[in-house]
Chains A and B, each alone.
Chain A
Amino acid sequence: MTEKRRIDWYSKKMRIFVGIALPLTVIALAVFIAVALSLLEQGPPCLFYRFTGLYCPGCGTGRAAMAILDGNLLLAFRNQPLMMLIAPFVLYYLIKVYIAYVFGKDILPFFKIDTKLAIGLLVVILLYWVLRNIPVKPFTYLAPI
């Protein structure tokens, strides 16, 4: 009788493997994205924009990434203000989860997130989605250039 081989994601072997393989994969992906962006001179096409002609919350990320590669943080913010504001938090949280998983110790602090904050984020994302499509002066600063 063969027994099902289940992966124990929390075994030491798994944690060491993921601990090394994950950063390497991330670095490889980052290098690839940098190379692809400079070769193609544009980011990947947005399907939502293709089909509706309207900007989605993620539109402008490619242009923002190219701006960051050039060191131009201001241009990056101009193209994707929402992303530039929440990306640092998301990155920090991902690093925190990585360390907690690989080393078993959740040492990085993170502020407490409650439902109100989550609802606020949902509202902000929806507003951002709608407002950046209004072709009137203050809102055009939310749209990518």
Chain B
Amino acid sequence: MAFCTNCGTELKGGKFCVNCGAAVDQPEAEVKKEEQAAPAPAKMGLDVKMLVWSIINTVLCCQILGIIALVFTILASEATDAEIAKKYLKTTKILNIVGIICMALYILFIIAYVIIMIIFGSLWGLGVMSAMGMA
């Protein structure tokens, strides 16, 4: 679809506009007008994966990190500029990865603690501790 650069009426073909009689030229200008008439750039929409990840981080481990990640997820979904949205999502991803690492370290620490307790407890129960003169 092409539009007259002078009056904006849709051109049906040929070399002159049927409305105002202006000559048909500058195909780039016509295309530009069409683009301006197009709807505003679409927003990216909510990244559900990041949303769920942020919530898990907030509730289970790192509250501050998770909340910030959640805020960035919302910002990314509302941003009209795709480049800015991508940057926000990247920030969210980094924050969530840090959160998962903290959670993993925490879990490993607890696993080590429990294993040591079990070993300690069974050593004590088996009488090894008293044999070694420690209990």
Contacts and interface: CB of A to CB of B under 8 A. Distances in A.
Interface of A: 29, 32, 35-36, 39-40, 44, 48, 56-58, 61, 82-83, 86, 90, 93-94, 97, 110, 113-115, 117-119, 121-122, 125-126, 129
B70 A44 contact: no
A44 to B, nearest CB: 5
Interface string B37-58: 0000000011011011001101
Contacts of A44: 106, 110
Given A115-B78, A122-B67, A122-B74, A90 B118 contact: no
Secondary structure type dominating chain B contacts:
helix
B20 interface: no
Interface of B: 45-46, 48-49, 51-52, 55-56, 58-61, 63, 67, 70-71, 73-74, 77-78, 106-107, 110-111, 114, 117-118
Contacts of A122: 67, 70-71, 74
Given A39-B114, A122-B74, A61 B49 contact: no
Q: Chain A contact residues: over half helix, strand or loop, or mixed?
A: helix
